[in-house]
Chains A and B, each alone.
Chain A
Amino acid sequence: MAEAAIELYRCSYHYDAHIPALREVSCTIPAGTWAALIGQNGSGKTTLAKLCNGLLRPDEGRVRILGQDIAGQPVSRIARSVGYLFQNPDHQIFAANVREELSFGLRNLGFPPVELQGRVEEALALFGLERYADHPPAMLGYGLRRQVTVASLFALRPPVLILDEPTTGLDWGATQALLSRLADLHRDGHTVVLITHDMRLVAERAEWMVILHQGRLLAEGLPRQLFARTELLARVSLSPPPVTRLAQRLRPLGMRGDSLSVEEFYREYTTLKATAFS
């Protein structure tokens, strides 16, 4: 396997002495993959993400990012490797205007002014934020505030990006726009970790899947293999997207039953039909 972007080894974390948020979680996210981190609310997804960027430190266990143990590293150093998009945009927005919001991280990491400005202008353009550049971000609507936070992360372009439910509250059009920006980064070799409840999105995009349940690792692996384990998923109230469920329903009639997208289903169906008539 290629180098790991994120490796957790028996990590535990307690917000409160009696209630563990994570219990001995070990998992690996290969570098350069588009990964999905899923599980119900309270399963530990956000806690895991915060262990990866040093906002929280494990009570026990080790975290390696791109091969390096981050135990002794300050948050500012880890930020060069891992960018984190908070679930709620208002938890990270604070600057007086959108341009400043996008510049903040870059300035902290010591980018020279010319490159800083170039990256900020590029991110403004990519996310359609040029005309809001001088607006206070806090005054924008939810969808735009979300775009501002994603644009800030995009300007930084760290090797590993962890996005905590970035599509919640966005409509389909805005979601597709965001995903295509992330696809560009992924194509350039960045590791993209998406925390999401959208199984259709996971099936269509993710190459790796980590499932948490009540603070423990339930399973990790290829989405195709994990979506096939319907009983395991049902036990934690998760279900595959409609097209996968359809393929599973048609398995007794000869479908393989593991289609993850409309295109894939159609290909398999036509192959099955062709074989049936030959």
Chain B
Amino acid sequence: MRPVITIENLHYAYPPLTAGAEAPPVLRGVSLSLASGECLALLGSTGAGKSTLCLTLNGIIPHLTGGTFRGEVWVAGHNTKESDPGELSQRVGLVFQDPESQLFNMTVEDEVAFGPESLALPSREIEARIHGALDMMGIADLRHRPPLGLSGGQKQRVALAAMLAMRPQVLVLDEPAASLDPAGKASVLDVILRLRRETGAAILWVSQDTDQVPLLADRVALLGQGRILLEGKPGEVFAQSSELRGQGLALPQMRELATHFNDRQGGDYAWLTVEEAAHDLGEVIRG
């Protein structure tokens, strides 16, 4: 399938804080691609450059930040260097860790309408998009509420709905559940699952929650030292335990358990989920 995102040998350094100085590059040769309907989980420790990479996808980097940008980023056939961020925002939806940083309207409805209205769509189309986005996020009942009075999980659903109303081909979710409590996390993961099933968009999902990643991602990439250090199916990437640990990342607890068994019994278990482990161990116990 033709990729909807192609990143080729991308190097990027933010502009230096003081004139004349040189800022160290954050990205040092990232290459990555993503197809429609695919969900890629991007792992990496704090400061690895995950959020920077996200901002290159809708052109905020380099158009609004400046800095030194080398390499190519293609999104839905457009080279981001030559495209306007306003136009890219119709193809790429971004949701950040902190939902409050992106909600600014008085009601949920206004929040979700904001994007489609700025495209000057006919009002019937705008209504259809609001309705569809609220419905998919399961928040139709919050439509007339002020976003700031909602719980963290609800706010994040509003931010996701506002993004969906633009019908983007690419969804970039930068640790959308990280700042939420367990109920909020569960609620956001639930909607990511739904987005994956129902929109056909490409999803780039930044997460450090390695217990959740195997449940949702088709593919996993590890960003470190400004490069993609590992990339593959969840099973392949999580098999590289020392590399992941070296990058300051947790392993899925089920993968740790598998390693514990393998080290002591010489097996080759590779569990990532409770399901998988329960299946294998259940068979062994039953004999």
- Chain A interface residues (CB < 8 Å from chain B): 40-42, 141-143, 168-175, 197, 199-200, 236-239, 241-243, 245-246, 249-250, 253-255, 262-263, 265-266, 269, 272-273, 276
Q: Which of A40, A174, A200 has the most CB of B within 10 A?
A: A40
C-alpha spacing A241/B185, complex, angstroms = 14
In this complex, what residue of A is CB-closest to B48? A171
Chain A residues, Cβ within 8 Å of B245? 172-173
Q: Mark B219-251, 1 if CB is under 8 A from A, else 0.
A: 000000000000000000000000001001110
Q: Mark B257-287, 1 if CB is under 8 A from A, else 0.
A: 1001100100000000110011001101111
Chain B residues, Cβ within 8 Å of A42? 151
Chain A residues, Cβ within 8 Å of B178? 168-169
Cβ of A252 to closest chain B Cβ, rounded Å: 9
In this complex, what residue of B is CB-closest to A259? B257
**Given A143-B47, A243-B257, residue A174 in contact with residue B248 (CB < 8 A):** yes
**Given A141-B46, A237-B183, A249-B274, residue A41 in contact with residue B152 (CB < 8 A):** yes
24 A–B contacts from the bound complex (CB under 8 Å): A40-B184, A41-B151, A41-B180, A41-B181, A168-B178, A169-B178, A171-B45, A171-B208, A172-B208, A172-B245, A172-B250, A174-B248, A200-B211, A237-B186, A242-B211, A242-B273, A246-B257, A246-B274, A246-B281, A250-B281, A253-B285, A262-B256, A265-B257, A266-B261
For A40, give its contact among B181, B248, B274, B277 (CB under 8 Å). Answer: B181
Task: Kindly state whether residue B179 has any CB partner on chain A within 8 Å.
Answer: yes
9 nearest interchain CB pairs?
Answer: A173-B248, A237-B183, A172-B250, A171-B45, A41-B181, A171-B248, A242-B253, A40-B181, A249-B278
Number of interface residues of B (CB under 8 A): 38
Interface positions, chain B 182-218, Cβ under 8 Å from A, are 182-186, 208, 211
**Given A40-B182, A143-B46, A169-B46, residue A250 in contact with residue B285 (CB < 8 A):** yes
- B248 and A266 within 8 A (CB): no
- A171 and B179 within 8 A (CB): no
- A172 and B248 within 8 A (CB): yes
Sample of 6 further A-B pairs with CB below 8 A, known A200-B253, A242-B252: A41-B180, A141-B46, A242-B253, A243-B254, A245-B274, A262-B257
- B285 and A174 within 8 A (CB): no
Chain A residues, Cβ within 8 Å of B45? 171-173
Chain B residues, Cβ within 8 Å of A197? 181-182, 185
- B182 and A246 within 8 A (CB): no
- B264 and A241 within 8 A (CB): no
- A239 and B182 within 8 A (CB): yes
Cβ of B216 to closest chain A Cβ, rounded Å: 15
For A253, give its contact among B46, B208, B256, B282 (CB under 8 Å). Answer: B282
In this complex, what residue of A is CB-closest to B179? A168
C-alpha spacing A175/B45, complex, angstroms = 11
- A171 and B274 within 8 A (CB): no
C-alpha spacing A112/B151, complex, angstroms = 47
- A254 and B253 within 8 A (CB): no
- B282 and A250 within 8 A (CB): yes
Cβ of B266 to closest chain A Cβ, rounded Å: 14
C-alpha spacing A250/B281, complex, angstroms = 8
Chain B residues, Cβ within 8 Å of A266? 257, 260-261, 264
Chain B residues, Cβ within 8 Å of A200? 211, 253
- A269 and B281 within 8 A (CB): yes
For B286, give its contact among A241, A242, A249, A253 (CB under 8 Å). Answer: A253
In this complex, what residue of A is CB-closest to B97? A169
Chain A residues, Cβ within 8 Å of B281? 246, 250, 269
Cβ of A275 to closest chain B Cβ, rounded Å: 11
Cβ of B257 to closest chain A Cβ, rounded Å: 5
- A273 and B46 within 8 A (CB): no
Chain A residues, Cβ within 8 Å of B152? 41
Chain B residues, Cβ within 8 Å of A142? 46
- B285 and A273 within 8 A (CB): yes
C-alpha spacing A245/B271, complex, angstroms = 14
Chain A residues, Cβ within 8 Å of B253? 200, 241-243, 262
Chain B residues, Cβ within 8 Å of A171? 45-46, 208, 248-249
